[in-house]
Structure 1
Amino acid sequence: MKVTGLETIRLAEFPAILFLQVHTDEGLIGLGENCVGVESVETFLHESVAPRLLGKNPLNINEIHEVLHQDFIGFNGSSIAVRATSSIDIALWDLFGQVTGQPIYQLLGGKVRDKIRAYNTCAGSAYAKGSSNIDRNRKAQLGTVTDHEYEDLFAFLNNPEDLVASLKAMGMTAMKIWPFDEAAIRSGGQTIHKKDLWEAVDLFKRARVAAGDDFDIMLEMHSLWSTPAATIIANAVEEYSPFWFEDPIRNESTDALIRLKNSINLPITVGETTGTRWDHHRLLSSKAVDHLMLDPGWVGGITEASKVIALASTYGVPVAPHDCTGPVVLTVGTHLGVTYPNVELQEMVRAFYYGWYQDMVTVLPKYENGFLTPPSTPGLGTALQPGINQRPDAIVRWSRLG
């Protein structure tokens, strides 16, 4: 078997998502995906990855992973190179599963559990229709609020009590919200004004009172804050028991992360925008990380994600794969979640899961009563919906062998 083509597909309706199909001479197609800044990822795939992949045996995953790690410049963090390689790696594992007739969780060693606990990230239906590198204000995140059943971002800002009730009714036992973001946009994140602080704390308090003690609430901070401001917020919200305090500051400065950890009493979660095991090792060895979040589409694919999860286990740190990105990454996360003992949770966005995700792929992990179960069919167990690459808004680019 050899790779005969790389096909990338972008959709104008969802400008932050990129789908990748790796074609082979035996007619099998591996599926990958990436999110945010995807025109750059697309260009890198065709310019820098395709010449090294076309004609190769796609089952030589380790060899290809190593070759693509040897870029002279740009291969660290969650750079364009890392994200392009992540998309390729996911597609190669999908092909591996199709060839062997096994789901990815079986290829990774088999299941330690049948399903993984899910939590709902409270985005709305318009959240995926922009780039989070460009639009970080709440108006852009909200988009046009419709009568869609799951306008959860609007709900947590306006009626967290009804939001909690709705999630509990479908069996969900945890959610993630970000009531402090707009305050960071207004202040630049270096400080927080008292009025903004207490308004956001009140939203979290209302959610906690409605949820009771048997429902977890994660506090997302989107790396928007300085260490002093994040410390003030953590101390103000502590009594309402956030399950974790996620990405309160940019984590490039290990010293700043350690200083924050030593100043607060909340468990810290970081890692979704961090790529490769080396950068995750820096975070883990700081001893300032209580939960690790990784994104299979940004960390280096399934190959690198597996290494990071194993590394986290040596520090006693549980892992929760990220998904606010796309249906392929969600599917990968659930395969990882049933394979590795130290994966504790899988993120999902019900507004996406019951909305546009179903328009993109043929199968999704099964959600039922607070848990996700990965597909049991070969490879990822899903594929792009027929005709995606023929949509009027589709931007399709090919690199072919020969």
Structure 2
Amino acid sequence: MGKIASMEYFRLPPRWLFVKITDADGNVGWGEASLEGHSQAVEGCLDAWFERYNGFEAEGGPVFMSALSGIDIALWDLKARKLGLPIYQLLGGKLRDKIKVYAWIGGDRPGDVELQAKARQAQGFRAVKMNGTEDLGWMDSPAALDDCVERLKAVKALGMDAGIDFHGRVHKPMAKQLARLLEPHRPMFLEEPLLSEHIEGIADLAKLVSAPIALGERLYSRWDVKPFLERGCVDILQPDICHVGGISEMRRIAAMAEAYDVALAPHCPLGPIALAANVQVDLSSPNFVIQEMSLGIHYNSTGQDLTSYHKNPEVWKVTDGYIDILQGPGLGIEIDEDEVRRLSKDAKAWVSPGFIGPGGEIREW
């Protein structure tokens, strides 16, 4: 690969940050460095990086690792395109012919959840993820847990699998009770039952239930992942390829997890470049189980979604819960650079609307 000649980044709606790298021979690669609600910080890191690429000493954390992710993904794309191969061929080849996927649904009442789940079924999904603690206080009445159980039952009644996301929002006694109540209804996983900083609490909770414990979106390297594997308190790892350092670090995390019999289900409520990068790792990872994708995601009111900014959006067609392999070189998607440049001119930084608890308190997103 020739010397890097230029690096550009593009802030795009709804909340994405794309990176374009061009080498001295004119070869191009695209990456994604999206960090939800913190685009300006990552942009500043990218500015500093390109000015003094070999002078960085700081490592780790969401901002630095998200900037690194965008660069890393773009370099993999550039290299593979130059060779005329999909990235998964450079990672050892594919182990499967299609990728199992799930999508998010919102709603805090069983009827709302059922309607949204049916809409996902119509899109081709057979599995979803939904809130477990939407309307719970940090320490609430045990009766308040009933709605979450009913939401899960409503989705399961449709013949769909459902992961339950706790978002790390509730106190350990509430999380324990909710996990035990959900367990008989066989959730696909219990995501972030407590915040990742509370590894002791997660380890305690994992011993109480047989339902798989999932987490990883707030971990930013294999070093962050390591203590969870050593404690045996995670069953499904959900690293975010835009936050862990890109394809290079994701494949290392996948290999570490495999040695501990832990499954890989990457977190990805982001854009098409992030998803395409995940798919390349998914195809070559023996312990991959399911991929999150944001097709028609609920928070997008800008008109841009997973099918935006590239010329082959049909690659995201979901059939019976699966998407097909991306066939093209590099990431397998063709970026519409004219559209990227047009919409980046006036793009505002996305600010998280936050989550307010029933008492008016600010809660975990």
How would you bin the TM-score normalised by the shorter chain? 0.7 to 0.9
Contact 2:70/2:246, CA 8 A, preserved across alignment: yes
3-state SS of the aligned residue for 1:359?
coil
**Cα displacement string for residues 287-315 of structure 1 (whole angstroms, at most 9, x for unaligned residues):** 01111111111111101101100000100
3-state SS of the aligned residue for 1:380?
coil
Q: Give the whole-Å Cα distance in 1 for the aligned partners of 2:154 and 2:196.
A: 30
Corresponding residue for residue 388 of structure 1: 340
Change (3 A) 1:194 1:226: closer
TM-score (ref. length: structure 1): 0.78
Corresponding residue for residue 273 of structure 1: 218
Contact 1:161/1:206, CA 8 A, preserved across alignment: yes
For residues 3-402 of structure 1, what are the structure 2 equivalents within 5 Å? 3-11=4-12, 13-14=13-14, 16-33=15-32, 34-36=34-36, 37-47=38-48, 49-53=49-53, 71-73=56-58, 75-76=59-60, 78-122=61-105, 153-154=106-107, 158-183=111-136, 187=137, 189=138, 191-208=139-156, 210-212=157-159, 215-352=160-297, 356-364=305-313, 365-369=315-319, 370-385=321-336, 386-391=338-343, 392-394=345-347
Q: Give the whole-Å Cα distance in 2 for the aligned partners of 1:360 and 1:271.
A: 27
Contact 2:80/2:329, CA 8 A, preserved across alignment: yes
Contact 1:31/1:383, CA 8 A, preserved across alignment: no
The worse-fitting range, judged by mean Cα deviation, of 316-325 and 345-354 is 345-354
Which residue identity does 2:204 align to in structure 1? Answer: R
Kindly state the Cα deviation for residue 90 of structure 1 after the two structures are TM-superposed: 0.4
How many percent of aligned residue pairs carry the same amino acid?
29
**Cα displacement string for residues 2-44 of structure 1 (whole angstroms, at most 9, x for unaligned residues):** 1111111113x42x32111112222222111123111100100
Q: Give the whole-Å Cα distance in 2 for the aligned partners of 1:285 and 1:41.
A: 31
Which residue identity does 1:367 align to in structure 2? Answer: K
Contact 1:181/1:222, CA 8 A, preserved across alignment: no
Q: Give the whole-Å Cα distance in 1 for the aligned partners of 2:312 and 2:170.
A: 38
Q: Which consecutive residues of structure 2, in runs of 5 or more, have no partner in the other structure?
A: 350-365
Q: Give the whole-Å Cα distance in 1 for the aligned partners of 2:163 and 2:40.
A: 32
Kindly state the Cα deviation for residue 52 of structure 1 after the two structures are TM-superposed: 4.1
3-state SS of the aligned residue for 1:358?
coil
Contact 1:115/1:337, CA 8 A, preserved across alignment: no
Q: How many residues align?
A: 338
Q: Give the whole-Å Cα distance in 1 for the aligned partners of 2:108 and 2:80.
A: 40
Contact 1:6/1:46, CA 8 A, preserved across alignment: no
Kindly state the Cα deviation for residue 377 of structure 1 after the two structures are TM-superposed: 1.4
Change (3 A) 1:395 1:224: closer
The worse-fitting range, judged by mean Cα deviation, of 357-366 and 257-266 is 357-366
